[in-house]
A and B are shown apart, each in its own frame.
Chain A
Amino acid sequence: EAEVAQSPRYKITEKSQAVAFWCDPISGHATLYWYRQILGQGPELLVQFQDESVVDDSQLPKDRFSAERLKGVDSTLKIQPAELGDSAMYLCASSPKLTGGADGYTFGSGTRLTVV
């Protein structure tokens, strides 16, 4: 069964350092999503790509977060500088098309970030 790949699984970083996460969506999926899930809360969309273009980044803290999907395949989410409040699970998901989420989509295994 096709999967969304994410790495690393776990990351511990010091406050004010830079950190990056990687996501490889299911092959052929045009739409890619990054969600953040703070402990005890539901996932919240940070950024959504359609191919290499950003469709929605309204909840992305742009002063410190950046995301790219240069060739419309895999994607990188970066935080610089990291803050204590960034400690969370970062989840990636993909769907075949922009409206593909209507059928439900599969998350990757996530990256658990701890900022100390």
Chain B
Amino acid sequence: QKEVEQNSGPLSVPEGAIASLNCTYSDRGSQSFFWYRQYSGKSPELIMSIYSNGDKEDGRFTAQLNKASQYVSLLIRDSQPSDSATYLCAVYDTSGTYKYIFGTGTRLKVLA
């Protein structure tokens, strides 16, 4: 059973700080990784994708991938109260049918 694990939180950070969200996955053959943001009562929204080891930056967001350690992270710089949401890590499973395997999500609270 392929798994994606996240700490459920909540992770509380003060406004303006860096929020660090972490995710580990069990399938060493995974190649595509995604971060989704989900506000309460809303559907998930894709915010970052990463496919290669290293860092990928997009505005205030940086995704980091370490395939050897089977570890993905998301950094949010200059956190804002509007960033308060649940962040879902997803791994694209291509071993059978093509689908996402999601973690349970980490709830982030940015304190004003």
Interface residues of B, count at CB 8 A? 24
Alpha-carbon gap, A39 to B104, bound state (A): 10
Given A42-B105, A112-B41, is A106 in contact with B98 using a C-beta cutoff of 8 Å? no
B103 and A102 contacting across the interface, CB-CB below 8 Å: no
Q: Verify B104–A40 contact, CB threshold 8 A.
A: yes
Total A-B pairs in contact (CB under 8 Å)?
A: 57
Q: A85 interface residue, CB < 8 Å from B?
A: no
The residues of B that contact A98 with a CB separation of less than 8 Å are 97-98
Name the interface residues of A83-105: CB closer than 8 Å to any CB of B.
89, 91, 98-99, 101-105
A99/B98 in contact, CB under 8 A: yes
In the complex, whether B102 has a CB less than 8 A from a CB of chain A is: yes
Give the interface segment out of B13-21, B43-51, B52-60, B72-80. Answer: B43-51
Query: Footprint of B on A, CB under 8 Å?
Result: 31, 33, 40-45, 48, 55-56, 89, 91, 98-99, 101-110, 112
Q: What is B's interface to A at a CB cutoff of 8 Å?
A: 4, 8, 32, 34, 41-46, 49, 88, 90, 92, 94, 96-100, 102-105
A-B contacts, 7 of them at CB < 8 A, read: A33-B99, A42-B104, A45-B99, A91-B43, A99-B98, A106-B46, A110-B43
